[in-house]
Structures are given as structure tokens and as C-alpha cells.
Amino acid sequence: MAKKATPEMKAVEKYEGKRSCLIQILHEIQKEYRYLPEPALRYVSEAIDVPLTDIYGVATFFKAFSLEPKGKHTVTCCMGTACHVRNSAGVLDELKRTLGIEPGETTEDMLFSLETVNCLGACALGPVVVIDDKYYGEVTPVKVKKIIAEVKKGEGKK
């Protein structure tokens, strides 16, 4: 029986093995696995004939890529000045408490990863939290619990 095409095989095929499409190939792989697994990077390295060290260079340069497994939902808390003056530190504390993780970590059930950034470009709405692509403005520590509960409910979890 033919071997099932892996996401990395499909990504290389989609971009016809072009070296110039390395970033797009990595994006496709990240989309599927939610991170860049080492065996996938090795495959790409051989398939498009780019040294593995160069691929790691690209993967670590762009914040959009992760070399660690990520949760299904990425929770990003803004810690920029405009959000800071409106208590983003309190919001982040509540996120850490509610999720039980620190920024840069992922929950054990692989549902959430927590990140911080220095501005999300929506300062007037601060403090801002983004979950995946959804923006939440004027977030308070009390709102944090509700927002996380909403996402968990969508996943059929309490």
C-alpha cells in the first residue's frame, strides 16, 4: 500500500520543491502540526536541498514559527504601554492562574498556549487579549475567566 502523504510531503509538493518557497512550506507544516517537528524539517531539508541549519535559522527568526508543540488555541496577552497602564499585568496574572501556565508554555491537555506581545495595534481597546484571531478589548481579570470558559465550552470542556 502506498504511504500516506505527510503534511511536509504535501507542502513540498504544493510549492514544487522550490527553495525560494521555504517560508511558505514551513507555514503549511506549522498549520498542520501547530509547530515544526524535527523530522518534518529534516524531510524538507533533503527534499528542497537546503541545509538543516539554514531551515532552523528561518524557523527561529520568525515568531510565527514554533519548534515546540503548541496548544490548539494561542492566547496572546498584550503587555505594551497602553495596555500596561490599564492593568494588563493583572489580566496576565489571571490568565496564568486560570490556565495554570506561564507565558511560553502550553497546557497539559494541549488546548492553550500562552504568549505575551508588546503591542497588538489596538491600543485604544486596551488591555487587549487575542485568542487565535479573535480580539477581546478592555479585558479585566474577571473577564478573563469568562473568555477562557467560553473557549473551553466551544471545545466541549468545562
> Is residue 92 classed exposed, middle or buried when 0-12, 13-18 and 19+ CB atoms within 10 A define those classes?
buried
Q: How far is CA 53 from CA 50, 68, 147, in A?
A: 8, 17, 40
Report d(CA 145, CA 158) in Å as an integer.
12
Report d(CA 9, CA 110) in Å as an integer.
25
Restricting to residues 78-97, which ones interact with ligand FES according to CB under 6 A? 78, 80-83
Residue 111 engages ligand FES in binding (rule: CB under 6 A): no
Residue 129 engages ligand FES in binding (rule: CB under 6 A): no
Stretch of residues binding ligand FES (CB under 6 A), selected from 41-49, 54-62, 94-102, 114-122: 114-122
Report d(CA 123, CA 6) in Å as an integer.
41
Report d(CA 7, CA 1) in Å as an integer.
18
Report DSSP state, residue 106. Answer: B
Residue 40 engages ligand FES in binding (rule: CB under 6 A): no
| Shortest separation between residue 89's beta carbon and ligand FES, angstroms | 12
Helix (H) or strand (E) holding 37: none
Stretch of residues binding ligand FES (CB under 6 A), selected from 26-34, 42-50, 61-69, 74-82: 74-82
Interface residue with ligand FES among 28, 106, 126, 148 (CB under 6 A) is 126
| Shortest separation between residue 75's beta carbon and ligand FES, angstroms | 14
| Shortest separation between residue 81's beta carbon and ligand FES, angstroms | 6
Q: Which residues bind ligand FES (CB under 6 A)?
A: 78, 80-83, 119-123, 126, 128
